Amino acid sequence: MSYDVPTILNMNCIHCNASNKDNWFYCKTCGKRASAPLFTTNMFMMSEQGKRSDIEFNTISLDDHVASEVAQRETKQKNFWKEKVNAIR
Ligand SMILES: [Zn+2]
């Protein structure tokens, strides 16, 4: 993915070119959307939130997740039969 860095750093409205330093979704001067949709998506991918969801997704691998689920189920089943046996005695 390639993008024009000066364009991303330019927070001005795409309609009236008014300064939009606080990066409002709607321009305070002309009331239109201050940025194009693609621009907004790029900003999200560069933001901390975009990075964080990426990290969260990779923290636990699918194999690890399945292994822990199986171990949990086996423990539950063993306890279930242990209780049944104790109830009979
Ligand atoms: Zn504007």
The tens digit of pLDDT for each residue in 18-73 reads 888 888 888 889 998 887 765 556 665 666 655 655 555 556 677 777 888 888 88
**pLDDT beyond 50 at 5:** no
* Ligand 1 mean position, distance from CA 3 (Å): 22
pTM of the predicted protein model: 0.31
DSSP state letters, 50-71: HHHHHHHHHHS-HHHHHHHHHH
* Ligand 1 mean position, distance from CA 16 (Å): 4
Q: How far apart are CA 88 and CA 80, in angstroms?
A: 13
Dihedral of alpha carbons 65, 68, 74, 80, sign: negative
Please provide residue 32's backbone torsions phi and psi, each rounded to the nearest 5 degrees. Answer: -90, 170
* Ligand 1 mean position, distance from CA 35 (Å): 9
* Ligand 1 mean position, distance from CA 36 (Å): 12
Cβ count within 10 A of residue 15? 14
pLDDT of residue 16: 92
pLDDT of residue 40: 56
Kind plus residue range of the DSSP H or E element containing 31: none
